[in-house]
Amino acid sequence: MSEPEADLCLRVSGLTKSFGVTRALSGVELTVRAGEVHALLGENGAGKSTLLKILAGTQTADSGMLELAGQRYAPRGPQEAQALGVAFVAQEPALCAELSVAENILLGALPGRFGFIDRVELQERAFAALARVLPEGAPRPDLNRRAGELGQGDRQLVCLARALAQSECRLLILDEPTSTLNSKEAARLFTVVRELTRRGIAVLYVSHFLEEVERLATRFTVLRDGQFVASGELAHTTRSALINLMAGRAVSELFPRSPHAPGEVLLELRELSGPKLPISASLRLRRGEVLGIAGLLGAGRSELLRAIFGLAPVKSGDLRVKAVLGKASPARRLAQGVGFLSEDRKGEGLAEGLTLGDNITLSKLESLGALGFVSPARRAAIAQTYLERLGVRARGPEQLARDLSGGNQQKICFARLLHEAADVLLLDEPTRGVDVGSRADLYRIIDELAVRGKALLLVSSYLPELLGVCDRVAVMVRGKLGAARPVGEWTEHDLLLEATG
């Protein structure tokens, strides 16, 4: 990869990193030019996170060379990386909820003397940092407001301001920056990123959403299994070629669609409401169909699914599962054949410190032994069946869940639902943070479940997903669920227009 030296911000050559016998990176190559958005692509487990951690100073490479602005770059920690001009914004906006916006922006470098904070200087410096990332004409968040009160879009901007406030930034690393943003907030972020590149800042951009990569980036680098695969100009590369480079195989059909035969109604809601959200939701979900729910973040979609499963209170309205009318606990819902996949995989979807076998089978132990005892051999055999069926890349049922990539962790969550033999599946953002190859696998699983007569209620912020896998789609706006219409009657534009009221 020959690059004009004057334009280079970052050069990575022959980078390797191992964790015990596991080789996370092997001979990785990457060049990022000043003033460009460079997309770093690859499936979960490709080595992207390890590379980012090395660049951010939280890990060190075993061998290879790093250069920043023509100088050898080997930070001994995050603070040294920031001092040298590398700013890193993680996927989940990490803020101290009880501190103010200003305090979060200058956290670790609060101005003051003798243990007292200089509040005037704090405000001035925080405003200067925030001004760098606010689009022209955008309202300025209240610097004295608690960070915990901010919406996701403003939280992301505060994290950006903090990253850029520490030093003169040369390289900004953004890891899945839009995974928790709605379309309007994402568009605002794109405006900020373009303005930063106009000032000469290089942006290394990691995302599983190829649509936004094509919209924002000029060049790309693909990693697969810890190795450099390819780099090039996005303008000269098709989306299908990028997918094949990342997956290492031809992904001919991202959204498989088999004929579905909707049958009896398994879930029915009439004017269902919660204490705050949802305000009103009515729907009928049939066996053998996928019903999608679109809407902006905060519209009440997740609250609706949690109310159905018994994780959130129901204030009024009717809720019927099969022939049973009324509210129920999550344990009762499981017994009725209802399965729930949370949008919060790490917090609720998995017990990361337990094995894959435990995660798959813990919610239904009846088939694993007699007289209340669990047979380890039986548990391992059942778990192995699901690992093979779903194509989970793992060493076996005894591997810890925390050691898997995000896409494979999500497959474990699906395996749990399959083991529960759920007839009604409530899926909340089932492919968030999942690479394109794993998404194709999960879409295939969703399609197969519908063919087998399962009823699936799917919440997603990714509009192509809703249009690609659902039979009908309804839109939730400010807590109210609209009527479900056949997917053929919707376009992305229509869904966005409806979602924004």
Q: Judge if 158 and 54 occupy the same domain.
A: yes
416 contacts: CB under 8 Å, gap ≥ 6: 339, 359, 360, 361, 362, 363
Domain count of the fold of the chain:
2
**Same domain? 270 vs 242:** no
6, pLDDT greater than 90:
no
Which residue blocks in 200-288 are alpha helix, DSSP H?
A: 210-216, 239-247
Tens-digit pLDDT profile for residues 241-280: 998 898 887 665 678 889 999 999 999 999 999 999 999 9
Rg of the chain's alpha carbons, rounded to an integer?
24
Compare 341 and 131 and report the one with higher pLDDT. 341
Backbone angles phi, psi at 81, to 5 degrees: -60, -45
Please tell me the distance from the alpha carbon of residue 381 to that of residue 375, in angstroms, as a whole number: 10
Tell me: do 228 and 291 sit in the same domain.
no
Q: What is the pLDDT of residues 165-177, one digit of tens each?
A: 866 889 999 998 8
- The span from the CA of 26 to the CA of 472, in Å, is 45
Q: Which residues contact 401 (CB under 8 A, 6 or more apart)?
A: 350, 351, 352, 353, 354, 355, 356, 359, 409, 412
Q: Among 134-143, 359-368, 441-450, where is mean pLDDT lowest?
A: 134-143
What are residue 460's DSSP bridge partners? none
Residue 151: what pLDDT?
Answer: 75
Which of 199, 217, 247 finishes a domain? 247
Nearest by Cα to 30 from 53, 75, 64: 64
Whether residue 223 is found in the same domain as residue 319: no
Residue 257: inside a domain = no
Indicate the pairing of strand 202-206 with strand 171-175: parallel
In a shared domain, residues 269 and 243? no
User: Is the residue at 92 inside a domain?
Assistant: yes
Q: What is the pLDDT of residues 42-64, one digit of tens each?
A: 987 789 989 999 999 999 999 99
> Do 194 and 320 fall into the same domain?
no
> Would you give the distance in Å from CA 162 to the centre of its chain?
22
The torsion angle over the Cα atoms of residues 291, 297, 299 and 303, rounded to 10 degrees, is: 70
Q: DSSP letter at 425?
A: E
Do 238 and 341 share a domain, yes or no? no
Instruction: Check residues 113 and 473 and name the one with the higher pLDDT.
Output: 473
Residues 138 and 110 both lie in one domain: yes
pLDDT digits (tens, 9 = 90+) for 274-320: 999 999 999 999 999 999 999 987 789 999 999 999 999 999 999 99
CA–CA separation, 337 and 267 (whole Å) = 11
> Mean pLDDT over residues 341-369, rounded?
90
Taking the C-alpha atoms of residue 272 and residue 234, their distance in angstroms, rounded to an integer, is 47
CA–CA distance, 307 with 319 (Å, rounded to integer): 10
Summarised one tens digit per residue, pLDDT across range 71-112 is 999 999 998 998 999 999 887 767 898 999 998 888 877 787
Q: Mean pLDDT in the chain?
A: 89
One-letter amino acid at 51 equals L
| 220 in a structural domain | yes
Asked whether residue 435 falls in the same domain as residue 316, the answer is yes
Q: Tell me, yes or no, whether 224 and 284 share the same domain.
A: no
Residues 431 and 311 both lie in one domain: yes
Write down the residue that tokens 């309202």 correspond to.
Answer: 139
What pLDDT is attached to residue 1? Answer: 46
Distances in whole angstroms, Cα of residue 43 to Cα of each of 92, 154, 245, 393: 18, 28, 10, 12
Closest listed residue to residue 410, CA positions, set 396, 394, 392: 392
CATH number at residue 40: 3.40.50.300
Full domain range(s) for residue 468: 265-499
Kindly tell me if the per-residue pLDDT of 438 is higher than 70: yes
Domain boundary among 188, 213, 247: 247
Torsions phi, psi for 91 (to 5 deg): -60, -45
Distance CA 125, CA 82 (A): 17
Q: Please tell me the distance from the alpha carbon of residue 104 to that of residue 27, in angstroms, as a whole number.
A: 37
What 3-state class would DSSP assign to 178? coil
- Does the residue 253 lie in any domain? no
- Band of pLDDT at residue 2, cut at 50, 70 and 90: low
